[in-house]
Amino acid sequence: MEQQVSPADAALNIMRQWWWPSNPERPFAGKMDLSEALNRLAMDGAASPKSAILALLSRGDLLAEGSFRWRKYQGGEFYYLEEGAALIRANRWQTLQKLIADEWLFLSNDEWPDSQITLEKLEIRETEPYDWQPGQNQFSTALCPPDKSAWDSGYYEEWFSAWDISIWPLFVREDHPEPETEPTEPAITKAKGGRPPAADWELAALEIAGHYYRGDFKPKNIADVGRELASWLGNQDLHPSDSVIRIHAKRIFEAFEAWEHE
Q: What is the DSSP string of 33-58?
A: EHHHHHHHHHHTT-SSHHHHHHHHHH
pLDDT given at position 164? 95
Residue 175 counted as domain residue: no
**Is there a single domain that holds both residue 51 and residue 160?**
yes
Q: Could you give the number of structural domains in the chain? A: 2
**Is there a single domain that holds both residue 140 and residue 59?**
yes
pTM score of the predicted model: 0.65
Tell me if 64 sits within 8 A of 91, measured CB to CB. Answer: no
Domain enclosing residue 68, as ranges:
7-169
**Is there a single domain that holds both residue 155 and residue 215?**
no
H helices of the chain, in order, are 7-15, 34-43, 49-59, 90-108, 172-175, 185-190, 201-214, 222-235, 242-260
**Is there a single domain that holds both residue 32 and residue 117?**
yes
**Is there a single domain that holds both residue 208 and residue 235?**
yes
Per-residue pLDDT 10s for the chain (262 aa) are 456 889 999 999 999 988 876 544 444 457 899 999 999 999 999 989 999 999 999 999 999 999 999 999 999 999 999 998 889 999 999 999 999 998 888 777 777 667 789 999 999 999 999 999 999 999 999 999 988 888 888 899 999 999 999 999 988 755 444 444 444 443 333 334 454 556 677 788 888 888 887 778 888 888 888 888 888 888 877 888 777 888 888 888 888 877 776 5
Residue 176 counted as domain residue: no
What amino acid occupies position 120? E
pLDDT given at position 158? 97
* Distance separating alpha carbons of residues 44 and 63, to the nearest angstrom: 21
